[in-house]
């Protein structure tokens, strides 16, 4: 299991503690945050990233910010809670776990607000309990995803596995999603050779995935995104496993930019392509991937990233953070409940009702 928690709560005094992932792999810097502005900035600037970790950070962030104040009334506390929810929700529009976690916190607040004689201290205690529950549920879901994903492999050979972006421990509170089968398998003697796509423009595959896998003792090789077709043609890849930021009701999946291209190449080379994500990443209110809002980020990330300008100043830059992989390209979606093979709307609906 990964040894570094990217997101946690410190108490007395209350602070959201984040591993600043913009500093990796060169430095391990932890941030201790207790203001709404600093927490918003950390989510927006990808100091914490990965859909599950973003949700956990937002939940703890709401609790921390509300705990800083003594409100003149419960109504005032409720209004601030709503303002916090709206503010944090505006930080990243694509990752559904962000909204899911904030909705849970709001629901908990309102369920307890109606209790006779409830106090601000008791409301805060309820929010603390709910945010801790979100954290612990994510840890359990990661291990379950890993167990189901591991059933796709055996110990008879070394498996070449490709992944894109980072969906490991750094994106969650535990084993991760896409990397969970690899961590569990490594603990049990399975042999994996992982190919981690660099993932332009922010290099999450090389900076984060390769960093955490190497730290965990798992064989990992970094690839430029443009090398994917070649290594697939060379038969070095047996399976692709990626994470997800949002999965539509029909199985269309939003993940880091470049994922859909990997899926298309995997289909061409007849390589199974799996998505690993908890049930909370499904957005059943979104019918298809066409309805998913894609975050567009600052073009400076492409032409002036990591302190070195790599493009002229007088050109436009298009920098979508995500793309959508059509469900027809996905061999299966691995969740904490099992594997949805050849996903479609009916199969997903039945799976989520388990």
Rounded CA-CA distance 349/249 in Å is 8
Cβ burial, residue 306 (10 Å; 0-12/13-18/19+): exposed
CB 153 within 8 Å of CB 160: no
For helices 74-89 and 51-67, what crossing angle results, to 10°?
Answer: 150
- DSSP annotation of 226: G
**Binding site, annotated residues:** 49-51, 92, 204, 255-256
**Binding site, annotated residues for substrate:** 49-51, 92, 204, 255-256
Question: In this structure, what token pair is assigned to residue 171?
Answer: 């994106």
Please tell me whether residue 220 adopts helix, strand or coil conformation: strand
In which residue are the tokens 């390209």 written?
Answer: 329
CB 153 within 8 Å of CB 189: no
Nearest CA to 247 out of 322, 161, 353, 145 is that of 322
Of 75, 219, 245, 323, the active-site residue reads 245
In the residue annotation, 138 being an active-site residue is answered as no
Q: Give phi and psi for 161, each to the nearest 5.
A: -120, 125
Start-to-end C-alpha separation, the chain: 27
Question: In this structure, what token pair is assigned to residue 313?
Answer: 């100043």
Rounded CA-CA distance 92/311 in Å is 26
Q: Which residues are catalytic?
A: 245
């Amino acid at each position: 299991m990964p040894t570094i928690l990217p997101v946690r709560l410190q108490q007395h005094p209350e602070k959201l503690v984040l591993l600043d992932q913009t500093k990796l792999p060169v430095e391990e810097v932890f941030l201790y945050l207790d203001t709404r502005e600093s927490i918003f900035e950390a989510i927006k600037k990808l100091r914490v990233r990965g859909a599950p970790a973003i949700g956990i950070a937002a939940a703890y962030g709401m609790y921390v910010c509300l705990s800083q104040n003594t409100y003149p009334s419960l109504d005032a506390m409720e209004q601030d809670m709503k303002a916090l929810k709206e503010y944090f929700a505006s930080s990243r529009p694509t990752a559904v776990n962000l909204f899911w976690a904030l909705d849970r916190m709001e629901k908990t607040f309102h369920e307890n607000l109606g209790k006779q004689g409830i106090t601000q201290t008791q409301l805060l205690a309820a929010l603390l309990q709910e945010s801790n529950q979100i954290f612990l549920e994510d840890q359990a879901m990661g291990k379950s995803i890993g167990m189901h994903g591991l059933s796709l492999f055996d110990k008879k050979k070394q498996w070449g596995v490709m992944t894109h972006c980072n969906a490991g421990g750094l994106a969650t509170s535990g084993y991760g999603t896409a990397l969970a089968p690899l961590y569990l398998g490594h603990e049990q003697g399975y042999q994996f050779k992982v190919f981690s796509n660099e993932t332009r423009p922010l290099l999450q595959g090389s900076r984060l995935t390769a960093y955490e896998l190497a730290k965990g003792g798992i064989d990992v090789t970094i690839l430029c995104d443009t090398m994917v077709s070649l290594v697939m043609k060379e038969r070095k890849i047996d399976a692709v496993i990626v994470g997800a930021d949002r999965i539509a009701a029909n199985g269309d999946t939003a993940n880091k930019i470049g994922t859909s291209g990997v899926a298309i190449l995997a289909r061409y080379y007849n390589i199974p392509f799996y998505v690993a994500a908890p049930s909370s990443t499904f957005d059943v209110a979104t019918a298809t991937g066409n309805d998913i809002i894609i975050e567009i980020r600052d073009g400076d990330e492409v032409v002036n990233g990591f302190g070195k300008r790599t493009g002229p100043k007088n050109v436009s830059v298009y920098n979508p953070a995500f793309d959508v992989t059509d469900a027809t390209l996905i061999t299966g979606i691995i969740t904490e409940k099992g594997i949805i093979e050849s996903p479609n709307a009916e199969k997903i609906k039945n799976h989520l009702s388990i």
